[in-house]
Amino acid sequence: MRLEINCQDRLGIAQDILDILVEHEINLRGIEIDEMGKIFLNFPNMEFSELQHLMPKIRKIDGIKDVKTAPFMPIEREQYQLQTLLKTLPDPVFSVNTKGEIILTNDAVLIHLSLPREKVIGVHIGDLLKGFNISRWLETDEPQVQVQKIRFLEQDYLVDMLPVLVPDIGGESIMAGAVFLLKSEYRLGQQLTAFNQGVADSFVSIQAESKAMRSVVKDAKRMAELDESIMMFGETGTGKKHLAKACHEVSSNRGGKFIVADCRVLSDKEACIELLGENDDNLGLLDLANGGTLFLDEVADLPSGIQTKFLKILQSGYYQRVGESNSRLFEVRIISSTQKDLGALVQEGSFSEDLFYQLNVLSLFLPPLRERKSDIIALAERFIKQHSMKLGRQAPRLTKAFIDYLQTYPWPGNIRQLENTLYRTISLLDGNELDKVHIQLPSCSATSSIVYQEFNGSLEDEVKRFEKEILIRLYPSFPSSRQLAKRLGLSHTAVANKLRDYGINKKTVKII
C-alpha cells in the first residue's frame, strides 16, 4: 500500500508521520520525499477499517494538506520505466557495482548467453568482456567515460563504459558502479559509412564479407557511375535484382524510377504493349523508366520478336508506342540479368548476337551462396532480425549446431531460399533459441557429380576434359585470357597456358 501526503516544508513533519506509523505498528518499507512538497509512504496492505483510522490522524498533523492512496512510488515508476527501456534495447547492457560484479542486465544479455538472470547476476564483468582490463578502470580514482573494443562470446563489439556517480552532500560525486553498453562493430561500421557519405549507401545492404562478393560490389560501384548497359550473370536467388537496384540508386539516373520487366512471363504481343506502350492510353515500361533504369529480369527469355525491336531501339536511341507513328527519345539505363548461358544461346541462334553485344557492355557475375560461406551467417542474422521484428517477437539466439548446418547446406536456391526458409522457421518457432531441429530443408548434396557415365580414363583425363568444357563455355563471353582469368580467379599466365594447351582461341571458338 502506498500513501501520497501533501504537506508544508516544516522541520520535523516527517518524524510526526513516522510516530503515527509506529503507534499503529506499521512496518514501513519505504519513504520518499520530492521537491514538490510531497511525502510518499510504502507499507504492507492493511484492512480498510484500519486505513480509515490512520489517514485522519495523519491529516491532523500540523502542516498536512491532504492524504490519499497512490498507485506507485515515484522511484518505482522510474525503475520500471528503466527496466522497460533496457528490455527493448537490442544490444547487450550490463550494470555492475564498484567490484565489477553484475547487478543488472537486459534481456539481450540473457538471450546471447542462454542463461537465466540469476545465473548472470554476481558474475564478474571481466569474465564475459575480454580484451580490456575493466577492473583496473573501475579502481582508478575518477574513471572517465571510455569507448573500447572488446570481445563478447567470440564476437567483436564496441563498448561504452559509463561510470555511475552519486552526488554527495558536499557536492562531491561518489562512484557507485558502472554501466556497459555493447554495440556490434559491424553494424556501427555500416552506419558510419552511410553517415560519411551524407546519404545512405545503397550497397551497404548487400552482404559482402566474402572475398568473392567484395569483388562484385567493388566492380558494381564503378560500373554504376557509367552510362553503359550492365549484364548480370548468376544462379536464381543470388540477388541480381537487389544489386541492380543498388547500382541505379547511385547512378546518374537515380532521379528516375527503377522499373522491372520480367521477361519470363511475356509473349511477343504482350511484350510489345508492356514495353513500348500503346497510344496515349497505355504507358509502357520504357515510358515509366524514362530518365531512370529498366531492369530486364531473365533477359534470356525475351521473345525473339521483341529482341529485334529492342535492338533497333538501343541502336537508334528512339522508340515508338504501338499504334503511333511519332518517335520518342529513349533515355533509359538498361541492366539485364540471366541465370542461363547466353553465350550458348547465341551460338544456337535462340538469342540475338547483336542484342547480346548491346546489353553486355559491362558484366557482373554473382557467385552462388555456397561459394560465399563467410556471408551466410551474417545474412541469416539480418533476416532473422527483420522477420522477428515483423512478427513482433525478439530475435532468437542461434545454437552452434544451427550455425554449422547453415554453413554446410549448399543452398541451391541461394539467398532467396535462405530468407524464405528462415521466415518459415521463425514463424513456427516456440522459445528464444534456434537449433538445427527447427529448420526444415530438402535433402541436397553439397556437391554434384561431374564425372560422365562413360568414364573410362584416369582422374587426370577427366579433370582435363571438365576443365576444357568450362573454358569453351566461358570463352565466348570472355574472349581474352585476362578477362577469363578475372572471371575464374586465376592468374593471367595460368589461363593463357590452359587456352593454348586446349587449342581454345578465336579461330576454334565462335566469339559472340
| Grid coordinates of 166 | 552519486
Asked if residue 267 has pLDDT above 80, the reply is: no
Cβ atoms of 475 and 484 closer than 8 Å: yes
Specify the pTM: 0.54
Mean residue pLDDT across the chain: 84
Cβ atoms of 365 and 234 closer than 8 Å: yes
> Which residue in this structure is represented by grid cell 587449342?
503
Cβ atoms of 333 and 229 closer than 8 Å: yes
The whole-angstrom separation of Cα 509 and Cα 473 is 9
The whole-angstrom separation of Cα 276 and Cα 310 is 10
**CA–CA distances in Å: residue 422 to residues 255, 387, 448, 450:** 34, 8, 25, 31
**Residues whose CB is less than 8 angstroms from the CB of residue 189 and which lie 6 or more positions away in sequence, other chains included:** none
Containing 306, the helix (H) or strand (E) segment is helix 304-316
Q: What would the 3-class secondary structure string for 79-133 be?
A: HHHHHHHHHHCCCCEEEECCCCEEEEECHHHHHHHCCCHHHHCCCEHHHCEECCC
Q: Mapping DSSP to helix (H, G, I), strand (E, B) and coil, where does residue 186 land?
A: helix
Write the pLDDT tens digit of every residue in 196-236: 443 345 787 788 888 889 889 999 999 998 889 999 999 99
Strand-pair category, 433-434 with 129-130? unpaired
Asked if residue 268 has pLDDT above 70, the reply is: no
Containing 57, the helix (H) or strand (E) segment is helix 48-59
Containing 93, the helix (H) or strand (E) segment is strand 93-96
Write the pLDDT tens digit of every residue in 341-372: 888 888 888 999 999 999 999 999 999 999 88
- Please state, as a whole number, how many other Cβ atoms lie within 10 Å of the Cβ of residue 69: 10
> Which residue in this structure is represented by grid cell 557492355?
361
| Grid coordinates of 20 | 503515527
Residue 452 amino acid letter: Y
451: DSSP letter:
S
Residue 194 amino acid letter: A
Query: Given strand 38-42, what is the order of strands in its sheet?
Result: 30-33, 38-42, 2-7, 64-69
Write the pLDDT tens digit of every residue in 383-423: 998 888 888 788 888 888 899 999 889 999 999 999 999 99
| Grid coordinates of 486 | 578475372
